[in-house]
């Protein structure tokens, strides 16, 4: 893989990786009584951000899919309309 592909992957998934790592590390810190409260706070914050990040990405993908479907449907209607027009012209000639 080239450097630019690795960079693109890291920038795309860096947030997910960092939040997942923070959630896992906070679970290990919960075992230590002196670190329990900060670990719980870190876990709640990281898990919440991870959840919202994943849900937002999922809805963005659905919106993109809907836009593509609409564009395909419009192109199909346009091509059918053009076929009808060219077909009627051919019949007259």
Domain count of the fold of the chain: 1
Q: Which residue has the higher pLDDT, 70 or 62?
A: 70
Please give the distance of CA 40 from its chain centroid, rounded to a whole number. Answer: 28
Identify the pLDDT of residue 2.
67
Per the listing, tokens 């990786």 go with 17
Contact call for residues 22 and 16 (beta carbons, < 8 A): no
Q: Which is higher by pLDDT, 67 or 45? A: 45
- pTM of the full predicted structure? 0.51
Task: Taking residues 68-74, report their average pLDDT.
Answer: 79
| Residue 75, domain extent | 3-92
- For residue range 16-66, what is the model confidence (pLDDT) as tens digits? 888 888 888 888 888 988 989 998 998 898 888 888 887 776 666 677 777
Beta carbons within 8 Å of 23's beta carbon, 6+ residues apart: 43, 46, 47, 50
CA distances to 24, 62, 74, 81 from 16, rounded to whole Å, are: 12, 19, 36, 46
């Amino acid at each position: 893989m080239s450097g630019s592909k690795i960079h693109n992957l890291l920038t795309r998934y860096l947030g997910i990786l960092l939040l997942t790592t923070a959630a896992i590390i906070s679970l290990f810190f919960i075992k230590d009584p002196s670190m329990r409260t900060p670990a719980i706070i870190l876990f709640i914050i990281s898990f919440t951000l991870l959840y919202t990040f994943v849900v937002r990405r999922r809805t963005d993908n659905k919106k993109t899919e809907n836009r593509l479907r609409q564009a395909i449907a419009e192109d199909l209607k346009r091509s059918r309309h053009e076929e009808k027009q060219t077909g009627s012209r051919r019949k007259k000639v």
